[in-house]
Amino acid sequence: MSDKPMSESRRDAVKLMLGAAVAIPVINLVGVGPARAAAPAVAADDPTAVALKYSADATKSDRVAAARPGKPVAEQTCSTCQFSTASDVPGHLNCTLFPGKVVSAAGWCSSWTVKAA
């Protein structure tokens, strides 16, 4: 057996576990963790985009004919919709209607619904 007393072995094990517990978050902060790619923008020919009449530029969409209650037509954009949330892509938002993709903040689709206050 080992000449080390049992208490020293336990202390060594505890030190090792604490060191690992501290090292893992630091490694993720440094950037050794998995890289995340930016989500792609919704394409005009995307089947969901076509079905929802999505347009990356709300001024070029048919939102006047399909206006929804809650805000004036001019203010109905993806940035004021309840389905959108912030994203890492400048000028774009995440949208629950297009999972894994981003939409233009200035866009519009027929599912536009005013954000709850």
pLDDT at 80: 92
User: What CA–CA distance (Å, rounded) separates 96 from 113?
Assistant: 12
For the chain, give the mean pLDDT: 83
pTM of the predicted model as reported, rounded to 2 decimal places: 0.64
pLDDT tens for 46-88 read 999 999 999 999 888 888 877 788 888 888 999 999 999 988 8
Per-residue pLDDT at 14: 85
Q: Where are the domains of the chain?
A: 1-35, 47-104
Pick the CATH number of 47-104 from 4.10.490.10, 1.10.150.120, 3.30.420.10, 1.10.10.10: 4.10.490.10
5/30 Cα distance (integer angstroms):
38
pLDDT of residue 33: 47
% of the chain beyond a pLDDT of 90: 39
Q: What is the DSSP letter of 116?
A: P
